[in-house]
């Protein structure tokens, strides 16, 4: 669930990430065959293509994690309704898995990153 308390932290995180290299790299990938229609592109998205896209995004985001390192415990604390010190002691893999499968968080990032890309394009 996307909580009100997490929104400012998520906005802060998105503002710190440089998405332009990611967008340029994704534009260069040949994973969709000659379509500009988003619905058609989604129909062409196979598990293999999804892995390629995720790998490219992850490879560009990972070096930027230092930019958001201080925001992560704050985000987790707001998300899990606990203190920052408690958040720092939680199992990272479990929390990451929970967050990346949270529809509210996913939708927030999709919209926020799309807006950021539009602003930098």
CB-CB contact of 53 with 38 (8 Å): no
CB-CB contact of 100 with 106 (8 Å): yes
If one counts every other C-beta atom within 10 angstroms of the C-beta of residue 22, the result is 19
> What does the pLDDT read at residue 54?
79
CB-CB contact of 14 with 116 (8 Å): yes
**Count of domains for the chain:** 1
For the chain, give the percent of residues with pLDDT over 70: 84
- Residue range(s) defining the domain that contains residue 29: 4-120
Per residue in 41-89, pLDDT tens? Answer: 667 777 887 788 778 888 888 899 999 999 999 999 999 999 999 999 9
Residue whose C-alpha is closest to residue 63's, from 116, 7, 93, 25: 25
> What does the pLDDT read at residue 89?
98
């Amino acid at each position: 669930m996307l909580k009100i308390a997490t929104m400012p932290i998520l906005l802060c995180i998105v503002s710190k990430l440089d998405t332009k290299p990611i967008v340029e790299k994704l534009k260069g990938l040949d994973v969709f065959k000659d379509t500009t229609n988003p619905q058609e592109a989604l129909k062409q998205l196979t598990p293999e293509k999804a892995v390629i896209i995720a790998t490219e995004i992850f490879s560009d985001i990972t070096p930027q994690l230092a930019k958001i390192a201080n925001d992560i415990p704050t985000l987790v604390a707001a998300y899990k309704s606990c203190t920052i010190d408690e958040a720092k002691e939680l199992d990272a893999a479990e929390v990451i898995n929970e967050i990346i499968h949270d529809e509210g968080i996913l939708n927030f990032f999709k919209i926020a990153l799309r807006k950021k890309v539009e602003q930098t394009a």
